[in-house]
């Protein structure tokens, strides 16, 4: 961008800011009568403004969604396979320690275990999640 172009843009920004300030300072009645004098359809302007705002919000939201997708893909590719090389009993004890603070979780954990015969894979995956969330360290110590 040349210096002249930059100056021109700054002038335009100043002009649009001062117009916006002027509109902000008007009462609803003053604004309405000015528009009527200029032969504008207020309902149409309101509707166009609403669409403009709603489109802008959608665009911002969509950018957030794209960023979240990218974040998810990055997290997935990073890999988090922390499994403790412990005996099954020791792992179970660790999970029981964690779950005893939450009655509902403890009850469901017991039910799930009873249901399917205490899967080692499930226990490993819970430990993996606890490490990933920083609830325990990679040596199995509760933080």
Partner 1 sequence: MKQLSPAEELLKELGITTAGDIDIDAIAYHVGAYIKYRPLDGCDGRIIGADDRAVISVNNRIIPTRMRFTAGHELGHWRHHRGRSFICRAEDIGNPLKGPLDPERVADNYAADLLMPRYLFEPLANETGKTNFKTVDQLRKEFQTSITATAIRLVEYGPESAMLVCHTMGGRKWFYRPKHIPDKWFPRNDLDAESYAIDVLYGKMERSRRVLMGADAWFDRWDAKKYEVFEESCATLNNEILTFIVFKDIEMLELE
The reply to whether 105 sits near partner 1 by the rule CB under 8 A is yes
The reply to whether 117 sits near partner 1 by the rule CB under 8 A is yes
Asked if residue 26 lies in contact with residue 34, where contact means CB atoms within 8 angstroms, the answer is yes
Give the gyration radius of the chain's Cα atoms: 30
Residues 139 and 51: their CA atoms lie apart, in Å, by: 55
Residues 13 and 19: their CA atoms lie apart, in Å, by: 10
The reply to whether 126 sits near partner 1 by the rule CB under 8 A is yes
Which one of 15-23, 27-35, 38-46, 132-140 is the stretch in contact with partner 1 (CB under 8 A)?
132-140
Residues 45 and 26: their CA atoms lie apart, in Å, by: 17
**Between residue 23 and residue 42, which ones bind partner 1 under the rule CB under 8 A?**
none
The reply to whether 113 sits near partner 1 by the rule CB under 8 A is yes
Asked if residue 129 lies in contact with residue 73, where contact means CB atoms within 8 angstroms, the answer is no
User: Which of 79, 115, 139, 141 lies at the binding interface for partner 1 (CB under 8 A)?
Assistant: 115
Cβ 54 to partner 1, closest distance in Å? 10
Residues 94 and 121: their CA atoms lie apart, in Å, by: 15
Question: 39 vs 134, which CB is nearer to partner 1?
Answer: 134
The reply to whether 92 sits near partner 1 by the rule CB under 8 A is no
CB within 8 Å of 23: residues ≥ 6 apart: 31
Q: Which residues bind partner 1 (CB under 8 A)?
A: 57-65, 68-69, 71-72, 75, 99, 102, 104-105, 108-109, 111-113, 115-119, 121-122, 125-126, 129-130, 132-135
């Amino acid at each position: 961008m040349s210096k002249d172009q930059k100056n021109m843009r700054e002038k335009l920004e100043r002009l649009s800011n001062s117009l916006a300030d002027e509109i902000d300072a008007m009462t609803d009645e003053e604004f309405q009568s000015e528009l009527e004098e200029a032969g504008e359809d207020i309902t149409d302007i309101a509707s166009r403004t609403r669409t403009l705002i709603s489109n802008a919000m959608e665009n911002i939201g969509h950018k957030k969604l794209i960023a979240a997708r990218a974040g998810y893909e990055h997290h997935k590719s990073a890999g988090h396979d922390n499994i403790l090389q412990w005996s099954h009993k020791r792992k179970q004890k660790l999970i029981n320690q964690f779950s005893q603070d939450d009655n509902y979780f403890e009850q469901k954990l017991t039910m799930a275990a009873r249901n399917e015969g205490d899967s080692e894979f499930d226990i490993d995956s819970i430990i993996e999640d606890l490490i990933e969330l920083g609830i325990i360290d990679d040596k199995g110590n509760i933080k």
